[in-house]
Amino acid sequence: MPIPDFQSIMLPLLTFAGDGKEHSLREAIEYLAQQFALTPEERAELLPSGRQEVFVNRVGWASTYLRKAGLLESTRRGHFKITERGGAMLRSNPSMINIKSLRQFDEFVEFQRPVRENSANEAGNADTEEISTPEELMESAYQRVREGLAAELLQTIKDNSPAFFERLVIDLLVRMGYGGTRKDAGQAIGKSGDGGIDGIIKEDRLGLDIVYVQAKRWDDVVGRPEIQKFAGALQGQRAKKGVFLTTSSFSRDALEYVSRIESKIVLIDGEMLAQLMIDYNIGVATVASYDVKRIDSDYFAEE
């Protein structure tokens, strides 16, 4: 079954704590994973940031919401037990526990007030807000902003000249650690003048190996014939490594061809190109940043 949203975890989590004993969050995660019959792949699924498992994140937030409503209480770091209010909630045999039902408790309403006030004017997003954890909402919004920026970057690249595209690729490769200095890379790349660039660039600053580079500022899909020509160019240069960049995309045949040949050729399509530009701060500027913090367990550990 799919990974349950964090509200669907609330009642099973409270039921797990219904024995009145102290439990650790890790125990709860293991128990609930079995109750929801999650596969190893589902348990290993990560948030977009790649820093935490989705299910662990959702169990953690279910626990937080239950504690803010006074149904669970923290006993020590990473441990909790049910409260009298939580026991009363279970005895009422609820069919489910969700944000709506938790709003009967003043403590929870106060806890949620800043979030609800900030999102009061965001009509149409209520359903997403109800089933997503705060991290998921933030990361989802971040991904939407990043996708929009990538699309805008790609269009801007296409609107500029071939010479500009040459400079962009040089800047990106140097920022990624290839080509030695920018002067070295500029001398090695930019020879065709036909809307793409071809050349040889150092793989590292010491020049221990070289990489053959070709880039096409195209709108059409790059097919297998173009990649075969590139592979032939590699052989002519006695090079075994190459990078082919395009502002468009690659055909299935092209992708399959690259996977079968001896030479190592990396294909970078327009979407990946834009993402790399964002990652390496080429053509973009930071307008705001937000630090998401958590408890530093080492700080609170007593010797």
The CATH number of domain 6-132, selected from 1.10.260, 1.10.10, 3.30.70, 3.40.50 = 1.10.10
pTM above 0.75, yes or no: no
Q: In degrees to the nearest 10, what's the CA dihedral of 196, 197, 198, 203?
A: -130
**Tokens 């948030």 sit at which residue?**
47
For the stretch 151-165, pLDDT in tens is 889 888 988 888 788
**Tokens 């580079």 sit at which residue?**
213
Structure tokens at 197: 């660039």
Give the C-alpha separation, 283 to 22, whole Å: 53
Task: Kindly list the distances between the CA atom of residue 198 and the CA atoms of 129, 161, 166, 214, in Å, as whole numbers in the listed order.
Answer: 49, 16, 9, 4
For the stretch 81-100, pLDDT in tens is 999 999 999 999 999 999 99
For the stretch 244-300, pLDDT in tens is 999 999 999 999 999 999 889 999 999 999 999 999 999 998 877 778 887 787 778
| Domain residue extents for the chain | 6-132, 157-279
Kindly report each contact of residues 2-5 with a partner whose C-beta sits within 8 Å and lies 24 or more positions away, as own/partner.
2/42, 3/36, 3/38, 3/42, 3/45, 3/54, 3/55, 3/58, 4/36, 4/58, 5/58, 5/131, 5/132
pLDDT value for 116: 52
Q: Which CATH architecture has domain 157-279?
A: 3-Layer(aba) Sandwich (3.40)
Which parts of 145-205 are beta strand (E)?
196-202
Alpha carbon 197 to its chain's center: 31
How are beta strands 196-202 and 79-82 bridged, if at all? unpaired
pLDDT above 90 (res 103): yes
Alpha carbon 119 to its chain's center: 23
How are beta strands 264-268 and 241-246 bridged, if at all? parallel
The per-residue pLDDT of the chain, averaged, comes to 84
